[in-house]
Structure 1
């Protein structure tokens, strides 16, 4: 692996979350949300993984901690988006719970990594 972030398990886990969110937006979101909610939730999910990668590569620990904080905030955005989509009945309770649990677990892992720096 050429880049430091590729060796982080959390980075791979967040990439998996992004795959799930992409599938959910393609299969469950209405077309009229394509440039609104769909775009925003995908950007927020992308931001989680991108901030981990950027913070890990050639940064000091305090800087990396800041980028991990940005990742956590983006995770909160994703949670808010899936709450909206559930409320609007775009996704089932089962899909909601799966995404919610994934993001909760990832947030705990990001927080744990942050504490080690």
Structure 2
């Protein structure tokens, strides 16, 4: 059995979400300059919200509070996915970049869903 997480950084779901953000930052650097305050900003903001809400929810004491922040992360993940589709359709990213980011997003989504389910099942023990 794994040792309970001492901080949000110990959570695999946070680690994968953070890696997703780093990937988003990497490929949005090549977006057109006229998108700096448009798609670039929106995609980065949505992606950042995923691990940020995992971190914020980590110290919440009740299962419902934790689950609410994880659900916000899930919403931000879906928003990020839409922006990925848009970036691909606008040809701002290659098919390979899109597929890599999409695969990362699916992994984060599975982990988020599992973590939220565990929190609710275990009624929010601090390290659930």
Q: Shared fold (TM-score greater than 0.5)?
A: yes
1:59, CA displacement in angstroms?
Answer: 2.8
CA distance in 2, matches of 1:82, 1:53: 23
TM-score w.r.t. the length of structure 2 is: 0.85
Aligned to 1:39: 41
- Structure 2: 5+ residue stretches without partners: 1-5, 120-128
TM-score, normalization by structure 1: 0.93
Q: Detail structure 1 runs of 4+ shifted over 2 Å in the superposition.
A: none
Higher helix residue share:
1
In the superposition, relative to structure 1, how do residues 38 and 24 fare at CA in structure 2: closer, same or farther (>3 Å)?
same
Number of aligned positions between the proteins = 114
Whichever of the two has the greater Rg, that structure is 2
Separation in 1 of the partners of 2:60 and 2:41? 30
Aligned-residue Cα RMSD (Å) equals: 1.0
1:20 aligned residue: 23
Q: Distance in 2 between matches of 1:59 and 1:41?
A: 30
Alignment of 1:3-82 (within 5 A): 4-27=7-30, 29-82=31-84
Which among 72, 87, 98 is matched to residue 96 of structure 1?
98
Residue 33 of structure 1: CA displacement? 0.3
CA distance in 2, matches of 1:50, 1:96: 23
Q: Could you say what secondary structure the match of 2:93 adopts?
A: coil
